[in-house]
Amino acid sequence: MTRSAIILVRIALLLAVLGAWEVLPRAGIVNPMLLPPLSLVLKTLGEILRRGDFQEAMAVTTAEVLVAFVIAVPLGAVLGVLSAENEYFGAIFKPMLFYVFSIPKSIFLPMFILVFGIGFGQKVAYATFSTIFIVIMSASAAVESIKSEYVLVAQSYGATRAQILRRIYVPSMMPILLETLRISMIFNFTGVMISEMYASRTGVGHMIANWGENFMLPQLFAGVVVLAVAAMSFNELVRYMEARWSTWRS
């Protein structure tokens, strides 16, 4: 199949799904109470986007996601590099990190509520906690992926430690780090959503949970569309950066 044929099929498939979403509830084949037709969801979407409380919730959620991301990614990257680079640090912390990584983070949520309450701080703390392990593991794998010859060559040309970090480590690790950025955002976003849906006074996750409990399906779907678009946009942005960075890869 040629590339354009594949793209055409993809578009056709998307249109088919969207079409079914509109037609099936209207025809009564699917219960419209459970799956409101697409046009109704989009109309509701337009309404809620204009609502002050939804805009406020979006602002809060965005802030939580960004703050947790800005804490978890650099901190996790530094810890990951340290655990790969420093023999003792690695020997002590790696097994521990590895074990904790395997536990589903959501079981710790009640403890976060007890310690941080149900406000902004708790969302950020929990999302950071659910994101940081994947960042540590990936950063440590990224360091281990650096070829020792690359470092040796730089040393033979008199590179200092700082120069090796900047000129060898960073570019060598960049493909894995960008990938990590993408995956950690998924973990981070999920962390914020779960903690908002579990116990909160505001935020998009909180509103979605409420709409669900009150059987307000058009609103619920509209909220889902907003979050899906936000998540996919970030994902595509990082993928675009990856593609630009990776021109040197075969």
Alpha-carbon distance of 100 to 189, in angstroms, equals 20
- 153 makes contact with another protein (CB under 8 A): yes
Alpha-carbon distance of 130 to 28, in angstroms, equals 41
Q: Say which DSSP state 120 is in.
A: H
Chosen residue from 63, 75, 125, 174 binding another protein by CB under 8 A: 174
- 155 makes contact with another protein (CB under 8 A): yes
Q: Which of 201, 178, 179, 181 is CA-nearest to residue 64?
A: 201
- 99 makes contact with another protein (CB under 8 A): no
Chosen residue from 26, 94, 167, 182 binding another protein by CB under 8 A: 167
Alpha-carbon distance of 54 to 204, in angstroms, equals 7
User: Contact, 112 vs 126, CB < 8 A?
Assistant: yes
Query: With CB under 8 A as the contact rule, which of the stretches 23-31, 39-47, 69-77, 145-153 interacts with another protein?
Result: 145-153
Chosen residue from 58, 81, 168, 192 binding another protein by CB under 8 A: 168
Which residue, 118 or 176, is less far from another protein as judged by CB? 176
Q: Say which DSSP state 147 is in.
A: -
Chosen residue from 158, 161, 213, 244 binding another protein by CB under 8 A: 158
Alpha-carbon distance of 238 to 229, in angstroms, equals 14
Which residue, 67 or 159, is less far from another protein as judged by CB? 159
Chosen residue from 163, 214, 215, 236 binding another protein by CB under 8 A: 163
**Where does this chain bind another protein (CB under 8 A)?**
149-150, 152-159, 163, 167-168, 171-172, 174, 247-250
